[in-house]
Amino acid sequence: MITKAEIIEQPYSGHFKEGIYDISNQWNSQDWTWIKFEEENNNEWCGQFRGAQRAVALSRKHNQILVATSDYLVQIDCVVAN
C-alpha cells in the first residue's frame, strides 16, 4: 500500500522502477511530471504523468492519490497501484 507521494524532478534513468501514466490525445502537452511513491515496506517507485506539475494529494481515509497536472487529473488506488 502506498503511504507517501511527492513531486520530484525527472530521476536518472534506472534509479527507480517507473510507471507511465499517459492518455493518447492530440492535445497533450510536451510536459511531464514525476511523482515518487513510497510503500509501507519502504519500496520506492516513480510515476511519470503527462502535463506540467500542479499538485499531488494522498487521502489515507479513502486510500486514494490524486495527481493534478496541466493536462489531467489522475486518481490512483493506494492499495492496488503499480
Q: What is the pTM of this model?
A: 0.90
Confidence of residue 82 (pLDDT cuts 50, 70, 90): low
Task: State the Cα–Cα distance between residues 10 and 40, nearest whole angstrom.
Answer: 23
Confidence of residue 26 (pLDDT cuts 50, 70, 90): very high
Q: Look up cell 490524486; give the residue.
A: 66
Is residue 81 scored above 70 in pLDDT? no
